[in-house]
Amino acid sequence: MPKPTSARRDVAAEITNLIIEKLEQGVPPWKRPWRGAPGQGLRPLRHCGTAYTGINTLYLWALGDAKGYTSRYWMTFRQAEQLGGHVRKGERGAVSVYFSQFKKTETNVVTGASVEKNIRFLRHYIVFNADQIDGLPAYYYAAPLADPEPTPSGRQAVIDRFFEPIPAAVRHGGSEAYFSPTFDYIQMPRPSSFDSMDLYASTRLHETVHWSGHASRLARTFGKRFGDQAYAFEELVAEIGAGLGCAELGLPNELHQSHASYVSHWLSILRGDKSAIIHAAAKAEQAITFLGAFGGTSCDAPDEDMATPSEQREGV
């Protein structure tokens, strides 16, 4: 008799469904985790301390928040065993994804000419949060609650170091925050209009992510792929990028009222294309890396080296 085959996990759908669930609850996963135990608002980490990137960050944030995990660390079953730990019986692992590609040669049946194509596909492996594992070294588990977060002035030097090298034209005045792609400048209300300098910086970060997508820089264009929702998709990229950047700078990150109106558009995009959130997260990650490079703060965070050396992977 042939061996029964287990159903393959639809990884893209699994990730997108969790993101949709969080959006329907009014808690975008790149927003809510900045609370609770120390480290919950910071990027999730692999067993070796390397940060996850792109969609893996968003998905593990969302899953960790839904499950109440307090540790930032995620690892495979084998990695846990190598560290002396044991995944508890009955625990369900999360998916961690990356793109692989292989080369395929196709021959034109008419001309006989051979063409080499790169075929990209999504791969995944299973990871567990440290809270699902017993026996790990103590530093894998969340520390007790620390003192209250520093005052905004305590982070001002970090904020300045991030923004000052970025050659974006910033104008102040009025009551609106936006980026003008036509005239290539960021418009911001005066800092005194905000309740704190931290909130000013988080709003400016959102608009600076928009600035990164200008045609002269990262040239973020989505053509007809998302139809008349292209602008809503760009807002999604900017919101995710601001979430990632705020986590790096230790800033509060609330969904601004002017952007909350896009939530319904985001949901329709995600429901219509299960890979949309993966592409949005990759674009947001690219934007934050691009902005950080002006000050020399960008760093590569390669995905888990679970593929063979011949597989070329793209951080997602």
Give the tens place of pLDDT for each residue, 186-228: 999 888 777 788 888 999 999 999 999 999 999 998 544 444 5
Domain membership flag for residue 309: no
Can you tell me whether residue 262 is helix, strand or coil? Answer: coil
Structure tokens at 190: 């005066």
Can you tell me whether residue 10 is helix, strand or coil? Answer: coil
Can you tell me whether residue 100 is helix, strand or coil? Answer: strand
Domain that holds residue 34: 11-294
Domain membership flag for residue 99: yes
Question: Which of the four pLDDT bands, split at 50, 70 and 90, describes residue 97?
Answer: confident
Domain membership flag for residue 2: no
For position 224, what pLDDT does the model report? 46
Contact predicate 16/24, CB 8 Å: no
Domain membership flag for residue 137: yes
Domain membership flag for residue 283: yes
CA angle, residues 171, 172, 177, in degrees to nearest 5: 90
Question: Which of the four pLDDT bands, split at 50, 70 and 90, describes residue 117?
Answer: confident
Strands 94-107 and 114-129: antiparallel
Amino acid in position 245: G
Strands 170-172 and 185-188: parallel
What total number of domains does the chain contain?
1
Structure tokens at 268: 């329709």
Q: Of the spans 30-39, 57-66, 190-199, which averages the highest pLDDT?
A: 57-66
For position 194, what pLDDT does the model report? 78
Greater pLDDT, 42 or 16: 16
Give the tens place of pLDDT for each residue, 253-285: 766 655 656 777 888 889 988 899 999 999 999
Model confidence pTM above 0.75? no
